[in-house]
Structure 1
Amino acid sequence: MESGKNIPAIPENITATITYKIENKSRKPKVLALYPTPDIVQTNTCRLAPKNSSGDSCSVTFKIIGSKLPIAEIHKGPILCQANSDGTADPNQCYQPDKNNSLSITKTKKLADWNNWGQNKQNSHHNINSGITKDNVKEIAELCKIDYTQGLAHTPSNSSAFSNSDKPVIVNDTIYWTGFAGVIGAHQIQRDGNGNFIGCNPLWVYLSEFDKNEKLIINGIYCQYTPPV
């Protein structure tokens, strides 16, 4: 079983989706059903022809229900079993992804008006007319578990000066932030098919400094600095 993009965090008032591609490694046909799990719902049937035959793979989509997720993090599953004649899962014939493709989900707190934030995915700067406000950005930062500071970003013209940015900034659905001791980072905002926010995925976090040629040093690699604001 191989997953698509995993979902690192889900607010308790959100239902997210994830799709797995499943290949039959057996010479016998199979019909797979999800092992009963209160926080996961299988949305389509998986019928597999014998190995190396047409139809020996399928794509299965699951809904992850935030309100039913356990408080503890999930680091396994989904578990699929051979289906009985009545469609229920046979617990004696089950399969699940390897560690690299298993679900890895953290439940986060409910966010007010989460579905109404930032529906304009085409915005190019500062989320103009996107519905994301300063307060929204703060709550998004909480969802992403970002420990950001107020106004501690280096300016490209002076390595000892700081910018006046007072909050993380979102550009093209990426949230850029600054932290203590020169730490900087970026998280990609994730959305469902309707454009609603469902969480965020860390892109990078670095300890940075500027040399006298006004280049950003990232883990020993020199990069031209382009500020997000």
Structure 2
Amino acid sequence: MMKDAMAQLLLLLTALVHASQAPEECSGPTTEICATVGSNFTLPFRSSGCDPRCTWLRDCHDVCFCRDGYLHCEAGYKSRFKVSCENVTAEGDGSMIILSVQEGDGGLYCFPDSRHNSSCFNLVVKPNGTSRQVADLKNSTTLPNNTTDDPNKGWKTGVAVGFAIGLVVGFLLGALAFHFLKKKCPNQLVQDVHHDQRRNDVEMQRNGDNNEDDTQHQLMPQEG
């Protein structure tokens, strides 16, 4: 029991000492890389020296570190952050694998080597299609309708508007025609009456002349 407590205390003191010696700035330019929520992503760290004592940092805080060939990760990183102390020692490969990336995993990740040269990656986590839709729904001021847009809605609306305009124009033309005929019909009737009267007068005059001729013919003396 006492040995376990001493071992835990030793690891804690080692981590604190190493954190105090960790560089605050990156040795070279910081590379920005993007990962999608839910994916597995690898931070491709390389080491210029084969130091069995190395540490992976996030925002200047320890994530994992190797001591005497054993890997130790801080709480919250053990289950999803994977690194290999053997690969660092043998090949200088300090790649860190993040399983099932979460939105809170973004930040500045650093890997200082034995020469205190720190390579850095700025991890930007982007939502996938499903989480993006959920975020858009939360940020939207109006809820979307459950109905889908009708692709024929445009031309249907145009036909309806055109039909309504046609009805209005037809009604106006009909009203104007009715008004015109209403004004014209009385004058036409008067003209027809006058025409009939003149025709009757002519007929009566013609009949009168014929009667007068017949009367004169009867009154003329007959010869022998």
Considering the TM-score relative to the shorter chain, is it more than 0.5? Answer: no
Higher strand share: 1
Higher relative contact order (CA 8 A, sep 6+): 2
Which structure has the bigger radius of gyration? 2
Higher helix share: 2
> Structure 1 length as normaliser, TM-score?
0.29
